[in-house]
Amino acid sequence: MLAALVQTYNDVVAPLLFRGGPVVAVLLVLSVVAVAIIIVKIVQFYLAGVYAGPRSRAGTIDPILELVRAGDFAAAQSQVAKQKGPLARLMESGIVAHWRDHRRDTEIEEELGRVGGNQLVGMQSYLRWLEVIGNIAPLLGLLGTVMGMITAFQQLEIAGSKVDPSVLAGGIWEALLTTQVGLMVAIPVVTVLNLLENRLEQYRQDMRDVSARLMQALQAAVKQADANASANAQAAQ
């Protein structure tokens, strides 16, 4: 494994650094940072249940909503506390706000919005870095190309009448190399960023849906409790 990495460095990375100079070195560092962030975000999304399908999500959410409708808030809170992810924390905040804090519906909705927003902010962490890398990588590549072209034409000026076309051509393709590397870094980073943001937007809609269903379940539990209290009062009379 180590030998393969060393061979790859000698065959690919070292020539790029030699030909492209410091700009390519910066681009390679940015590519490593981008890959690390992408891996971290994919793992985070997976552990948070962002990639869970509708059937899997319903299997964990529906039983809790049934407990809420039945008025068994202690069991619902205990069950949701065992689960991980933003949806679980969202539901737990709504159940606690209604059951323990006895808040009104508007206050519960505000609490759901606050907790949901905080959870989404955590899910969006480091995505801005991917956006920055995707934006500046082509610019760095263009900067390297401009610097390389300046160097090539300086050599052309120094050569005077003894111009060797091969030297000029070599300087130009070395200059264009930085633009190529910049685009090779930017294109996959921007693509993955859009995919992550699109999935997060879908998850945001799932959170809105769960919030609405939880509020309906809480309201159903209140109506059922009022109906039971009324029936008990009539039976006592």
Model pLDDT, residue 136: 95
Contacts of 183 (CB under 8 A, 6+ apart): 137, 138, 141
Given a contact cutoff of 8 angstroms between Cβ atoms, the answer to whether 174 and 148 are in contact is yes
Model pLDDT, residue 187: 95
Distance, in Å, from the CA atom of 130 to the CA atom of 138, rounded to the nearest integer, reads 13
> Phi and psi at residue 155, in whole multiples of 5°?
-65, -35
- The domain segmentation of the chain, as residue ranges, is 23-48+57-222
Given a contact cutoff of 8 angstroms between Cβ atoms, the answer to whether 37 and 130 are in contact is yes
Q: What angle do CA 108, 207, 205 make, to 5 degrees?
A: 130
pLDDT digits (tens, 9 = 90+) for 77-111: 889 988 888 998 999 999 988 888 788 888 888 99
Q: Say which residue, 43 or 56, is predicted with more confidence.
A: 43
> Residue 24's pLDDT band (boundaries 50, 70, 90)?
confident
Query: Across residues 171-183, what is the average pLDDT?
Result: 80
pLDDT digits (tens, 9 = 90+) for 100-153: 878 888 888 899 999 999 999 889 989 999 999 999 999 998 888 888 777 777
